[in-house]
Structure 1
Amino acid sequence: MNIEDQRFINNALVDVYDNIMRIEEKSIRKSQFNDITVKELHLIHAIGLGSNKSISEVARLLNLSKGTLTINLNILERKGYLNRIQNKQDRRITNLKLTRKGKLLYRAHDAFHKKLVESFLSGFDEDEVHLIKKAMINLQNFVNEAAKY
């Protein structure tokens, strides 16, 4: 790959990331969910719909300490976006479940991401989508590895 291609891809990634964050922030401010931050929105997304993930699972997924996550969970619980549920099989484990309000926010955020992906893949055939998936896996692996440190 030549330096111009690298520079273009780098600039495009930075620009897309910055703009997605701005769009999400602006959308939140104009919505019924204006009491939430982008960081909290992504936490809700990590919890997901109906999965009953444990606090440990979400902390691992977001690469956060349980203490840091707990502070954020307290805020989201107070705002009415999630509930903590004691695991019936192992009472030491606390599971997380989105409330109706949390599910509504999740679905709105998910719809935005679906439009984003549809726009990104528009005009590509199956082979090209396969190459994009391969590139995204490479990028995910790099970012996930770098996030460990």
Structure 2
Amino acid sequence: MEKEKYMIGQELIEIFEKVLKTENISVARKTGCDLSMTEIHTVAAIGKNTLYRMSDIAGILHITVGTLTVMVNNLVKKGYVERYKSEQDRRVVKIGLTRKGRIIYDAHAAFHEDLVNALLKGIESKEEQQTVRCALSNLWDFIDKQNN
């Protein structure tokens, strides 16, 4: 059992590293974009169809508004994000994706869907899928506790 746990641990570490690298490569291949993984995840957090305040996106990404401002400035310069003044309160600035940004969003979402499909390949029964969800939930809880 110990050897099996060790092997699972090694594979998990390798998978984490490879997923991040592959995610970036996949989105770049599909779109020809020049974005870092952090920028791609910022585009994903902004979302496709809604305008958000900077503080909302910073909360989603667990970063400060100042850090997000630097990221958004770069994404605006590259043409992936636009800023909009709120109609109700001109002091409030909201951000949304441009057409170019929505292309990145779609490519990123497609990668995630392909990733889940690959994970569940050959796992047909609801019981097996629930076991996978339970394992992922346990992993999430562990990581969440480490961050608090």
State the TM-score, normalizing by the size of structure 2: 0.86
Partner amino acid, structure 2, of 1:126: K
Distance in 1, Cα, partners of 2:77 & 2:131: 43
Deviations 1:2-39 (A, max 9, x none): 42232122212111111112223333554543321111
C-alpha deviation, 1:139, in angstroms: 1.8
**Residue deviations 1:40-63 (CA, integer Å, cap 9, x gap):** 011111111113232112111111
The range that moved more, 22-31 or 128-137, is: 22-31
The sequence identity of aligned pairs, in percent, is: 32
5+ unaligned residues in a row in structure 1: which ranges? none
Aligned to 2:32: 33
Amino acid at match of 2:137: I
- Name the Cα RMSD after superposition: 2.0
1:2-81 matches, within 5 Å, as 2-30=1-29, 32-81=31-80
Distance 2:27 2:143 in 1: 26
Partner of residue 143, structure 1 = 143
Gap change, CA 1:29 and 1:118, over 3 Å in 2: closer
- 1:75, CA displacement in angstroms? 0.2
Gaps of 5+ in 2: none
CA separation in 2, counterparts of 1:13 and 1:25?
Answer: 19
Distance in 2 of aligned mates of 1:131 and 1:138: 11
Amino acid paired to 1:128: E
Deviations 1:82-113 (A, max 9, x none): 11223334444332211100000111111111
Cα distance in structure 2, aligned partners of 1:70 and 1:120: 35
- The number of equivalent residue pairs is 147
TM-score normalized with structure 1 length = 0.86
Residue 143 of structure 1 aligns with an amino acid whose one-letter code is I
Tell me how far apart the structure 2 counterparts of residues 5 and 53 of structure 1 sit (CA, whole Å): 45
Higher RCO structure (Cα 8 Å, ≥6 apart): 2
Q: How does 1:83-94 map to 2 (within 5 A)?
A: 83-94=82-93
CA distance in 2, matches of 1:128, 1:95: 42
Secondary structure (helix, strand or coil) at the match of 2:17 reads: helix
Partner of 2:134: 134
